[in-house]
Every structure is written in structure tokens, then in C-alpha cells.
């Protein structure tokens, strides 16, 4: 039968109807699963123009064919929905164990529709699925909710995905947390859950996910494991220091955004680096399901342990807010996990608020006794994250994200975001390819839609001159397509440091029994990318939205190794549209759509 | 000539974080690494004044050299 189970669990919270349906074999084949399949099904099932927080929106929790198998990192799932942050297609990936457990329960995906009248949670135990009251956990944060629901279902091996108070309050940067510290972080997916009055999904399965060709699959898994172990990044770098090791690297290159992207060098980088984290706070590694890389960290401050922090999080609350106190950053990270907000957007929004304060838009009296929003104020980042779960006041304003916040003060140019999604921890003024990828990412400012840092900084799979424009459009396209395919497969994007398209094709073929070549894998990624583009265009997005914050296009980097550079986006976009098979205005051509079967 | 050498991640073990060292005129990245007993396969990423360069590039007086072993992404 293979690792695609062919089963969709559909739960309608308005009517209370729970149904197990058959998954279209044809769609599953051409879109693989996860992000690609979810994007296609969402497009088919919801009308353009609906309110993302209305009961017409749907929430997909969707795995890939390799989720729940023995393939390395095979624990991933995607949350696919219409984003309440920016109305584009949201697909947020998460690790941990929840996704694999959904497969063990017998489903490739869960689709949640409608809206419950009062708070509920969904409890899945193999074929037994119930909608249960959640009034007693509404208002509780994620760890407490997890504890309470685990004891309520009476099975501590069950897996919980839930929202905190931020999701309940419809924060546009709310995330969905699973297995305590793992997050489907970006695009405000937690608010969609909150809008449906859905507090949590608890899942427990007793089944197994078998490959179609067991022997071949074992062979390919072994080969993939070998490559991951041998590769310097996946075999040594990530296991030893996690993602935080990037702080020093990116700072040395002069592209570590500091004080809301006003600068690219942070003088205190070493104090918040992966090296310092390992020396002072790291307790153990915290890997996801069947992951030999184990980039996940578990740290302790003042006797409180928690997952993380990741590189992005350290940057967002650290250099982006001018903060050099790693302990405070870890506390801010924990607070994000507790109330359920995306750490990148939360930190970057506080950074934007600090710049609003610096320039006199936000006055001290508005802060109602909260800590001063001064650059470097460690107390401010911790306290203001906590207040993002509030029902009113300045904390509530922050919880709407930097785009809405800065607009409210008449200074939208201070939001360092693309399509309202806050940019992550790499200043594109020193990264020509990565900047192009930010501008064209289908969910907005994001680094994991085509991680050009790999060739432009880390030299993998080959070293590219980060300031050169040559070949960058082609590179970005291939990276975006391959990433979309990996996000569809059920594996972690970090495997791509060691594995290539043919490795994924081999694993998918043996697992599903459907023949995939490397070209098919890339085509599926391309298909997913175009489906997302078309979704966004139906929402009114156009080439004009493929842009970067004005600061990064116009203001040269003031100092450091990237001094004097801006991002020349205009010089890259026409070529990018061409290599994508889109017309000069960024619209997929009829031929392109036909070639992808769209 | 004087070179500011910055070491990161595991390369700091039994060495240092940042020091200024004297090297013969025209020394390459590789020669500096050899003097510090860093094996060639550990030179995953080498930056001179923030710009990533291959190990056979020569340094000049006053340069800052940053050396990273194989590291992660994120
Ligand atoms: S590499 Fe990190 S994020 Fe990816 S599956 Fe492993 S532990 Fe999880």
C-alpha cells in the first residue's frame, strides 16, 4: 500500500460532522503531499476573497509521504491555510512528533472547517475522533494546556498541538505549538485556530507507516543517513551548536540585522552567539522524530528549562533589538512558546516598536508602566512579549505584527517585512540571491523558502559571490522549487545540506510505490510554487508586492564588511520572472500552467 | 605583518577567540591555519575582512581573518 495512507480526516466544527474520506491518488502523486498538496487542496476548497478569520477558512494539518517512516527527520507536517496576517497562502512547517503520530493514527491529513460555538479540542485516537469541550483550558498557555489535556485523555504518549493566549486573541503573529516547543510558526496560523475556537488537537495512533518497497526503502534510508553523517553541516555543525552558531558568521559578514536593520554589525554578537549558548545555558540536544541531525536545543535559565532558542530567535530579540543579554533572550523565547507567538515576528515587531520610540512616534506614556522601548533594554523584550497575549493596551498592538503597528503610527516604512511578514535574520543588502528570494517568497519575508545563505555564505553546494547578480535568478528558482518539494515530502529542510533531488526521489519512490525521478521532484516543487503564486494573485497580489522594505533598496549599509551596498532588486526581478516561466508582470503564462498540468 | 585572527565554534578549544598575531609578509590563509595547527578540512569558511575567500588567498598587514569549522544553517 505504501506510505501514503490515502485517508483524509475532515472535522467540521460548525456542524460537528467528523468524516474519514479517501485522498485523491492523482493529486497525491503530482503534489507529493504536505505543502504542495495542501496548497492545491486549499485552493480548490476555499473561495478567493474570504476573511481568513471567518468560518469559511479551512485549516489543513498535512503530512508528507515520508512522515512517520524511518527516513531521517521524517516527523514533519505543514499547517496550510489562508493567512490572517497578509491574506496570502500560509504554509508553516513544524517538527517534533505530532505529524508522525497523525500518520500512526491512520491519516495523511486533518482538515478543520467551520467554527465551534464555544472552545473545543479535537481528540484523535486512531479511528475514534471526538470534539470535546475546552472551556477549562481556554485562557491557559501552551505548556499548561498540554499537561491538562494529556492527563484528561489519560495517555502521556499522546501528542498535543495547541495555541496559547495569542492565538485565542487572534494575534496576527500567533503560532501553533506542538510537542511543547515545536512551532508551526509563521503567518499567523495560530489565529486561524483561535478564530475557530479550536484550542488543541490531541493525537495518538497505534498504526505503522510501511514503505511500498520495504527493502529498497531501507537501502535508501541507510544511504541518506550516511550522507547526513558525513556532511560537515548536518554531521557536525548543527549537532554541536544548533542553528545559533550562525550569529557570529552572519555578524562577521556584516549582515546581522541590528536595531531594526539600521546596521549590519552587532558589537556584542559573541555574547549572544551559539558558542556562548553552548557554554552557559545548553542542557541537552532536543531532536525531532527520527532525526540524526538533532539541531534542537534545550536550555535552562533560573531553573526553568525549555526548547530553543534558535538562531532566528536569538537575533530577533538580540541584535535586532540591540540586546546583548542572552539570558533575557532565552526568557523571551520561552514567553513566546508559552503564549504562542512566532519568535521572528514577535522580536522583529518589538524592534520596529523600538524604532518608533526612537523616532518619537511612540511616546513613553502609551506604555502604561511597561519597560521603556529603548535599544538594548533586555527587560523590554521579555516583558513586551508577555504582554502580546493581553486583551488590550500596547501589548495587543504589538501582537498585530510590525506592519499593522507601524501603519497605525503613520510610519509603515519602519516595518522590515515583505508582504507584511517580518524578515528573518539576514540583511539582503549583502546577499543578492537571498534578497531576491525574500521578495518573491510566496508567504512573504521568509528564509526557508529558498535558503540562499547556503551557497552565498556557507559555500554549499558551491561557493557563490554574495554580491554578484550573475546566475542568482536561476539559483533562487531551483532552491525555491527544491524547498517546496522537501516541504511536501515530510522531511526537514535541513536534510538538504546533505541530500539532493535524486535522494528525495529515491526515498519517495520506494516509500510510495509511485515512480519519482529527480526531475519529477523538482517539477512537483515548481507546481507547488505556481499554485501558491496563483492563490496570492487571486487575492489581489501582483508584481508590485515582490519587493523589499524601502530601507534595504535605498539606504546603503552604513558600516562593516557590507558597507555601501543596497539591494538592486530591479536588476534581478525580470530575469527571475523569465526563468520561472512567468510574463514580465510576474504572471504564470498559459504555457507554464499547461506544462505543470494546472 | 599583523593579523587579527578570530576563531569560532570548536576551533576555540585549546586556542583562543580573538588574538593579534605576527606573520611573515604575504602569508596565505592556509599558512596562518597551519601555524595555528588547524587541519585543512576544518577550514569550512574563511573570511578576510568579512569577505569569504579561498584558503590560498594572501593576507596583508592589518587584515582580520575569521575562521569557521563546518557549521550549521538555520
Ligand atoms: S534538523 Fe533540527 S529541526 Fe530538523 S528534524 Fe532535526 S532536530 Fe528537528
> Distance from CA of residue A306 to its chain's centroid?
19
Domain spanning A7-204: CATH superfamily:
Aldehyde ferredoxin oxidoreductase, N-terminal domain (3.60.9.10)
Q: What is the phi/psi pair of residue A459, to 5°?
A: 75, 30
* Parallel, antiparallel or unpaired: strands A304-307 and A417-418: unpaired
Q: Which domains does chain B have, with CATH numbers?
A: 2-68 (3.10.20.30)
Q: What is the ipTM of this complex?
A: 0.94
CA of A182 to the centre of ligand 1 (A): 10
Q: How do strand A417-418 and strand B45-48 relate by DSSP bridges?
A: unpaired
Q: Tell me which long-range contacts A220-225 makes (C-beta under 8 A, separation of at least 24).
A: A220/A503, A220/A506, A220/A507, A220/A510, A221/A69, A221/A70, A221/A71, A221/A72, A221/A507, A223/A503, A223/A506, A224/A71, A224/A72, A224/A495, A224/A498, A224/A499, A224/A503, A224/A507, A225/A72, A225/A292
In eight-state DSSP terms, residue A60 is E
Q: Are A105 and A124 in contact (CB under 8 A)?
A: yes
Residue B14 burial (CB count, 10 A): 7
Distance (Å) from CA A293 to ligand 1 centroid: 6
- Check pLDDT > 90 for residue B71: no
Q: Closest by alpha carbon to A204, among A102, A328, A334, A92?
A: A102
Q: What is the CATH number of domain A244-422?
A: 1.10.569.10
Q: So what's the pLDDT on residue A3?
A: 98
Residues in chain B with CB shorter than 8 Å from the CB of A275 are: 8-9, 12
Specify the 3-state DSSP secondary structure of A585. Answer: coil
Q: How far is Cα of residue A375 from the mean position of the Cα atoms in its chain?
A: 27
CA dihedral of A365, A369, A375, A379, whole degrees rounded to 10: 180
Q: Which H/E stretch holds residue A436?
A: helix A432-440
Predicted confidence at residue B74, as pLDDT, reads 67
B8: nearest CB among A275, A295, A560 = A275
Main-chain dihedrals φ then ψ at residue A509, nearest 5 degrees: -60, -50
Cis ω for the linkage preceding A309 (within 30 of 0): yes
- B72 versus A494: the higher-pLDDT residue is A494
Ligand 1 pocket, CB under 6 A:
A 73, 95, 287-288, 291, 293-296, 492, 494
Q: What is the pLDDT of residue A237?
A: 87
Chain B CB contacts of A310 under 8 Å are 74
Q: In what order do the strands lie in the sheet with B64-68?
A: B18-22, B2-7, B64-68, B45-48, B51-52
CB contact under 8 A, B50 and A270: no
Distance, CA A40 to ligand 1 centroid (Å)?
A: 26
Residue A503: Cβ-neighbour burial (10 angstroms; 0-12, 13-18, 19+): buried
Exposed/middle/buried for residue A474 (C-beta within 10 Å: 0-12, 13-18, 19+): middle
Which sequence spans correspond to the domains of chain A?
Answer: 7-204, 244-422, 430-497+517-595
Interatomic CA distance for residues A343 and A339, integer angstroms: 11
Q: Does A475 touch chain B (CB under 8 A)?
A: no
Tell me which DSSP letter residue A421 carries.
E
**Could you tell me how far CA A328 lies from the centroid of its own chain?**
23
Is A233 touching B (CB cutoff 8 A)?
yes
User: pLDDT by residue (tens digit) across B12-56?
Assistant: 999 999 999 999 999 999 999 999 999 999 999 999 999 999 999
Nearest 5°: phi and psi at A251? -65, -40
**Mean pLDDT (10-residue bins), chain A, 598 residues:** 96 98 97 98 98 98 98 98 98 97 98 98 98 98 98 98 97 98 97 98 98 98 97 90 94 98 98 95 96 95 92 98 98 97 98 98 94 98 95 95 98 98 98 98 96 94 95 98 98 96 98 98 98 98 98 98 98 98 97 96
Report the distance separating Cα A430 and Cα A112, nearest Å: 42
pTM of the model: 0.97
CA distance A144 to chain B (A): 29
C-alpha cell at A59: 485549516
First to last CA, chain B: 36
Choose which CATH entry (1.10.150.110, 3.40.50.1000, 1.10.599.10, 3.20.20.70) describes domain A430-497+517-595.
1.10.599.10
Amino acid at each position: 500500500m505504501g506510505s501514503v495512507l490515502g485517508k483524509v480526516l475532515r472535522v467540521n466544527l460548525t456542524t460537528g460532522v467528523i468524516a474519514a474520506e479517501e485522498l485523491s491518488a492523482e493529486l497525491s502523486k503530482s503534489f507529493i503531499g504536505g505543502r504542495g498538496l495542501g496548497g492545491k487542496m486549499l485552493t480548490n476548497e476555499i473561495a478567493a476573497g474570504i476573511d481568513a478569520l471567518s468560518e469559511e477558512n479551512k485549516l489543513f494539518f498535512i503530512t508528507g509521504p515520508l512522515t512517520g517512516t524511518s527516513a531521517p527527520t521524517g516527523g514533519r507536517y505543514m499547517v496550510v491555510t489562508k493567512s490572517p496576517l497578509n491574506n496570502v497562502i500560509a504554509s508553516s512547517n513544524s517538527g517534533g512528533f505530532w505529524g508522525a503520530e497523525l500518520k500512526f493514527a491512520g491519516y495523511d491529513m486533518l482538515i478543520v472547517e467551520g467554527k465551534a460555538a464555544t472552545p473545543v479540542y479535537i481528540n484523535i485516537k486512531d479511528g475514534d475522533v471526538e470534539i470535546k469541550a475546552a472551556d477549562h483550558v481556554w485562557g491557559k498557555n501552551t505548556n499548561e494546556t498540554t499537561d491538562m489535556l494529556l492527563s484528561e485523555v489519560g495517555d502521556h504518549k499522546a501528542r498535543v498541538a495547541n495555541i496559547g493566549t495569542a492565538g485565542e486573541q487572534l494575534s496576527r503573529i500567533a503560532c501553533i505549538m506542538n510537542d511543547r516547543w515545536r512551532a508551526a510558526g509563521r503567518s499567523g496560523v495560530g489565529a486561524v485556530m483561535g478564530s475557530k475556537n479550536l484550542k488543541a488537537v490531541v493525537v495518538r495512533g497505534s498504526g505503522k507507516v510501511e514503505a511500498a518497497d520495504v527493502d529498497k526503502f531501507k537501502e535508501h534510508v541507510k544511504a541518506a543517513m550516511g550522507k547526513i553523517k558525513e556532511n560537515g553541516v548536518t554531521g557536525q555543525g548543527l549537532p554541536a551548536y544548533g542553528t545559533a552558531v550562525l550569529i557570529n558568521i552572519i555578524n562577521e559578514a556584516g549582515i546581522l540585522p541590528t536595531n531594526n536593520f539600521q546596521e549590519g554589525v552587532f558589537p556584542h554578537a559573541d555574547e549572544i552567539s551559539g558558542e556562548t549558548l553552548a557554554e552557559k545555558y545548553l542542557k541537552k540536544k532536543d531532536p525531532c522524530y527520527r532525526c540524526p541531525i538533532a539541531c534542537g536545543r534545550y536550555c535552562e535559565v533560573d531553573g526553568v528549562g525549555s526548547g530553543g532558542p534558535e538562531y532566528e530567535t536569538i537575533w530577533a530579540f538580540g541584535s535586532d533589538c540591540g540586546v546583548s543579554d542572552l539570558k533575557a533572550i532565552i526568557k523571551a523565547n520561552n514567553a513566546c512558546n508559552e503564549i504562542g507567538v512566532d519568535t521572528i515576528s514577535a522580536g522583529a515587531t518589538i524592534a520596529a516598536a523600538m524604532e518608533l520610540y526612537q523616532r518619537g512616534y511612540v511616546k513613553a506614556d502609551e506604555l502604561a508602566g511597561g519597560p521603556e522601548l529603548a535599544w538594548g533594554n533586555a527587560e523590554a523584550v521579555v516583558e513586551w512579549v508577555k504582554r502580546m497575549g493581553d486583551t488590550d493596551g500596547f501589548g495587543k498592538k504589538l501582537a498585530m505584527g510590525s506592519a499593522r503597528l507601524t501603519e497605525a503610527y503613520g510610519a509603515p516604512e519602519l516595518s522590515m517585512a515583505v508582504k507584511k511578514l517580518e524578515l528573518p535574520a539576514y540583511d539582503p543588502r549583502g546577499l543578492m540571491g537571498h534578497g531576491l528570494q525574500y521578495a518573491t517568497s510566496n508567504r512573504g519575508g521568509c528564509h526557508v523558502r529558498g535558503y540562499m545563505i547556503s551557497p552565498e555564505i556557507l559555500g554549499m553546494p558551491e561557493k557563490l559571490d554574495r554580491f554578484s547578480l550573475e546566475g542568482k535568478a536561476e539559483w533562487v528558482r531551483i532552491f525555491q522549487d527544491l524547498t517546496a518539494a522537501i516541504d511536501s515530502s515530510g522531511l526537514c529542510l535541513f536534510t538538504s545540506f546533505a541530500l539532493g533531488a535524486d535522494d528525495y526521489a529515491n526515498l519517495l519512490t520506494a516509500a510510495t510505490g509511485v515512480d519519482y525521478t529527480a526531475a519529477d521532484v523538482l517539477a512537483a516543487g515548481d507546481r507547488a510554487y505556481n499554485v501558491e503564486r496563483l492563490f496570492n494573485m487571486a487575492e489581489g497580489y501582483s508584481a508590485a508586492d515582490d519587493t523589499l522594505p524601502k530601507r534595504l533598496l535605498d539606504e546603503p549599509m552604513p558600516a562593516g564588511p557590507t558597507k555601501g551596498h543596497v539591494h538592486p532588486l530591479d536588476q534581478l526581478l525580470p530575469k527571475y520572472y523569465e526563468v520561472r516561466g512567468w510574463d514580465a508582470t510576474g504572471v504564470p503564462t498559459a504555457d507554464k500552467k499547461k506544462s505543470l498540468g494546472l | 605583518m599583523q593579523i587579527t585572527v578570530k576563531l569560532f565554534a570548536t576551533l576555540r578549544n585549546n586556542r583562543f577567540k580573538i588574538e593579534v598575531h605576527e606573520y611573515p609578509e604575504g602569508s596565505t590563509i592556509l599558512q596562518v591555519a597551519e601555524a595555528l595547527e588547524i587541519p585543512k578540512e576544518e577550514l569550512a569558511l574563511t573570511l578576510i575582512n568579512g569577505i569569504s575567500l579561498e584558503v590560498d588567498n594572501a593576507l596583508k598587514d592589518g587584515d582580520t581573518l575569521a575562521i569557521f569549522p563546518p557549521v550549521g544553517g538555520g
